[in-house]
C-alpha cells in the first residue's frame, strides 16, 4: 500500500496485508490485533495507564497504529479551536484523540460497547475547553468530524486485513461500534461539559477571566475592573506576559502561575495579576508606578515554560497593548522552541520584526522559499551557510567581525559567503533587506514547506 511522503495512509494506516493469511481468532473484531502503522508517529501522548491498558489487551503494534491515526487526524491544524495554545497545545488535542481511538480499538476487539465514561484525557480536555469558553456546539461539531475521519481509518484497516468471506460481517461490526461510540461520546461530552461549566461559572477564576476579557476588548468600566481585580489599571505602567508549557503538558496551571509571579517579582512589579486560561496558557501583568527598566529576567530553576514578554506601556490602553505584544512574542517563541527546545523568556522588542513577518505563516514560508532558493535547503551544511550570511549581514558585511562572532577564521566567512552567493545566484548585497529578513525567518521555518501549523 503506497504511503505519501510525510503523510499517513488514509485508508487505515496499515502496513502490508497480513490478515489475508493470518488467523483472526474467534471474535469478530480480533482482526484489529493485526493493525500496523505505515509510518512511525512517535511516542504516545496519552497517559501511560491508557497505553498500558491497551497494550495488555491488543499488543504494541495496534496501539502504535492508534497513535499514528491520532497524529494524522490532528495534522494540519484541522481543529484550531480545540487545540491548546503554545508549543505543546496540539499535544493536548492529540492525546484526547489518541485516547478515543484506543477506546474504539479495544471495543471493536472485544465486545463493541463504548466505555461507561470518557477517557481521562478527554475529561481533562473538556475542562480546558470550558475554561477557554469554547462553545459546546462547536466542540460537538468538531467531535463529529473526528469520528468521521476515525471511521475512514477503521473501515480502511478492516478492508485491508479481513479475509473476504468474513469482510461483510466485520464491516458491519465496525460500523455498529463507530455509530454507538459517536452517539455515546457526544452524550457524555455534553454532560461533562455542563457539569464543568456550572462549576467554573461559580468560581472566582471565571469572574476574573471574564473581567479581563472585557478589558482586552475595551468594554466595561476600567475603574470597576480595577477594583474587582485588585490591580491598578489607569495610573501605572504594565508589562504583560504570556506563558506556555515548553516541552511537556504534565505541569498544572498552578505551575504557570508560580512562574509568572516569580518573573514579575524579579522585575520589581508593584502589583501582579495572573489569569490561568488552561493547562497550556496563562496570562500575567505586572504594574509599576514608574516606567520600569527594560530587562529580561531569567526563568526560575527547573521551569519548563516558554514566556512571551511585552514592553512596558501605561494605562488601560497600555494594559491591552502589552498583552498583544506578549502574545506576539510568545508566538515567535513557540517557533524558536521547535529548533532549540530550550525554555526561555522571549522579549517583544527583540522579535518585533519577526512577529510582523510571521503574522501570515504560509506567506512567510513562501517568502523564505522564493527569496533563498537553494540556500533554503534543510541540509545541515546549508544551514551553516545561512547562519554565516545572517551574522555577516548583522555585522555590516564585515568578514572580520563576523568571524569573531562565529568563532571561525576570517577566510572561512569569506568562503561561506561566496558559496552562499552561488546558491542564491546573486550577491548577498542585492536586495539585502529582503535577504536579511528571509534568513531570520528561515530559523523559524527550518523546513521550507513547514509553516508551523
Shared-domain flag, residues 296 and 402: no
Q: Is residue 161 part of a domain?
A: yes
Q: Is residue 72 part of a domain?
A: yes
What is the CB-side half-sphere exposure of residue 75 using CA atoms within 13 A? 15
Element (H, E) at 288: strand 281-288
Reduced DSSP (H G I as helix, E B as strand, rest coil) percent helix, strand, coil of the chain, to 5: 60, 10, 30
Shared-domain flag, residues 195 and 52: yes
281 backbone dihedrals φ, ψ, rounded to 5°: -160, 140
Q: Among 20-29, 52-61, 74-83, 356-365, name the one with the lowest average pLDDT.
A: 20-29
Shared-domain flag, residues 23 and 83: yes
**Which of these, 445, 305, 389, lies nearest to 398 by C-alpha position?**
389
Which three cell numbers, joined as nine digits, stand for 382? 546549508
Q: Give the range of the structural domain holding residue 396, as residue numbers without chain letter.
A: 360-444
Shared-domain flag, residues 431 and 339: no
Shared-domain flag, residues 32 and 94: yes
Identify the three-state secondary structure at position 273. Answer: strand
Evaluate whether 176 touches 210 at the Cβ level (below 8 Å): no
Q: Is residue 3 part of a domain?
A: no
- CATH number for position 424: 1.10.10.2840
Q: Is residue 218 part of a domain?
A: no
Shared-domain flag, residues 100 and 131: yes
Q: Is residue 306 part of a domain?
A: yes
Which pTM value belongs to this model?
0.78
Picking from 356, 387, 412, the residue at the C-terminal end of a domain is: 356
Q: Among 134-138, 194-198, 310-314, 363-367, name the one with the lowest average pLDDT.
A: 363-367
Percent of the chain at pLDDT exceeding 90: 62
Q: Is residue 113 part of a domain?
A: yes
Distance in Å from the first CA to the final CA of the chain: 27
Predicted confidence (pLDDT) per residue in 261-272, tens digit: 999 999 999 999
Give residues with Cβ within 8 angstroms of 453, minimum separation 6: 76, 77, 361
Pairing of strands 345-347, 305-309: parallel
Shared-domain flag, residues 365 and 395: yes
20 pLDDT above the threshold of 50: no
DSSP class per residue in 94-107: HHHHHHHHHHHHHH
> pLDDT tier at 334 (50, 70, 90 boundaries)?
confident
Shared-domain flag, residues 389 and 285: no
307 backbone dihedrals φ, ψ, rounded to 5°: -125, 130
252 pLDDT above the threshold of 70: no
Which three cell numbers, joined as nine digits, stand for 324? 498583544
Shared-domain flag, residues 43 and 127: yes
Picking from 339, 356, 373, the residue at the C-terminal end of a domain is: 356
Domain count, the chain: 3
Predicted confidence (pLDDT) per residue in 125-152, tens digit: 999 999 999 999 999 999 999 999 999 9
Shared-domain flag, residues 338 and 256: yes
**Which of these, 250, 260, 304, 299, lies nearest to 282 by C-alpha position?**
260
Predicted confidence (pLDDT) per residue in 216-243, tens digit: 999 999 999 999 999 999 999 999 999 9
5-29 mean pLDDT: 47
Picking from 328, 356, 384, the residue at the C-terminal end of a domain is: 356
Give residues with Cβ within 8 angstroms of 287, minimum separation 6: 231, 232, 233, 236, 237, 238, 269, 270, 271, 272, 273
Evaluate whether 267 touches 294 at the Cβ level (below 8 Å): no
d(CA 212, CA 101): 37
Which three cell numbers, joined as nine digits, stand for 276? 490561568
Helices (H) and strands (E) in the chain, counts: 16, 6
Shared-domain flag, residues 366 and 319: no
Which three cell numbers, joined as nine digits, stand for 198? 456550572
**What are the CA-CA distances from residue 320 to residues 132, 236, 297 (Å)?**
18, 13, 22
Shared-domain flag, residues 137 and 187: yes
Q: Is residue 10 part of a domain?
A: no
**Which of these, 158, 60, 38, lies nearest to 108 by C-alpha position?**
158
Q: Is residue 179 part of a domain?
A: yes
> pLDDT tier at 340 (50, 70, 90 boundaries)?
low
Amino acid at each position: 500500500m503506497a504511503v505519501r511522503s510525510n503523510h499517513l495512509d488514509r485508508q487505515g494506516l496499515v502496513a502490508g496485508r497480513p490478515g489475508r493469511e493470518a488467523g483472526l481468532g474467534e471474535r469478530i473484531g480480533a482482526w484489529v490485533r493485526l493493525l500496523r502503522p505505515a509510518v512511525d508517529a512517535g511516542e504516545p501522548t496519552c497517559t501511560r495507564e491508557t497505553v498500558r491498558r491497551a497494550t495488555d489487551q491488543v499488543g504494541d503494534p495496534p496501539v502504535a497504529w492508534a497513535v499514528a491515526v491520532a497524529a494524522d487526524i490532528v495534522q494540519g491544524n484541522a481543529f484550531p479551536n480545540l487545540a491548546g495554545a503554545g508549543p505543546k497545545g496540539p499535544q493536548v488535542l492529540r492525546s484526547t484523540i489518541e485516547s478515543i481511538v484506543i477506546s474504539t480499538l479495544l471495543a471493536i476487539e472485544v465486545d463493541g460497547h463504548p466505555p461507561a465514561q470518557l477517557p481521562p484525557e478527554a475529561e481533562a480536555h473538556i475542562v480546558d475547553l470550558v475554561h477557554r469558553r469554547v462553545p459546546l456546539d462547536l466542540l460537538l461539531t468538531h467531535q463529529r468530524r473526528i469520528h468521521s475521519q476515525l471511521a475512514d481509518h477503521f473501515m480502511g484497516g478492516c478492508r485491508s486485513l479481513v479475509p473476504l468471506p468474513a469482510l461483510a460481517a466485520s464491516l458491519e461490526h465496525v460500523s455498529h461500534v463507530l455509530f454507538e461510540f459517536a452517539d455515546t461520546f457526544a452524550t457524555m461530552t455534553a454532560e461533562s461539559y455542563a457539569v464543568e461549566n456550572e462549576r467554573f461559572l461559580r468560581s472566582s477564576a471565571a469572574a476574573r477571566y471574564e473581567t479581563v476579557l472585557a478589558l482586552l476588548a475595551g468594554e466595561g468600566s476600567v475603574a470597576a475592573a480595577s477594583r474587582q481585580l485588585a490591580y491598578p489599571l489607569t495610573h501605572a505602567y504594565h508589562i504583560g506576559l504570556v506563558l506556555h508549557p515548553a516541552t511537556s503538558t504534565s505541569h498544572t496551571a498552578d505551575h504557570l502561575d508560580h512562574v509568572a509571579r516569580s518573573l514579575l517579582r524579579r522585575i520589581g512589579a508593584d502589583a501582579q495579576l495572573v489569569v490561568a486560561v488552561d493547562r497550556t496558557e496563562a496570562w500575567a501583568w505586572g504594574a509599576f508606578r514608574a516606567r520600569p527598566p527594560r530587562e529580561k529576567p531569567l526563568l526560575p530553576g527547573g521551569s519548563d515554560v516558554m514566556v512571551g514578554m511585552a514592553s512596558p506601556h501605561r494605562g488601560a490602553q497600555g494594559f491591552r497593548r502589552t498583552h498583544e505584544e506578549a502574545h506576539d512574542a510568545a508566538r515567535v517563541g513557540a517557533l524558536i522552541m521547535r529548533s532549540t527546545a530550550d525554555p526561555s523568556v522571549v522579549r517583544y522588542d527583540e522579535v518585533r520584526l519577526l512577529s510582523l513577518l510571521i503574522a501570515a505563516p504560509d506567506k512567510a514560508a513562501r517568502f523564505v522559499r522564493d527569496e533563498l532558493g537553494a540556500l533554503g535547503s534543510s541540509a545541515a551544511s546549508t544551514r551553516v551557510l545561512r547562519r554565516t550570511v545572517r551574522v555577516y549581514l548583522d555585522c555590516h558585511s564585515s568578514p572580520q567581525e563576523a568571524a569573531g562572532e562565529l568563532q571561525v577564521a576570517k577566510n572561512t566567512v569569506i568562503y561561506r559567503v561566496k558559496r552562499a552567493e552561488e546558491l542564491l545566484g546573486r550577491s548577498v548585497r542585492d536586495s539585502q533587506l529582503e535577504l536579511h529578513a528571509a534568513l531570520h525567518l528561515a530559523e523559524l521555518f527550518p523546513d521550507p514547506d513547514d509553516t508551523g501549523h
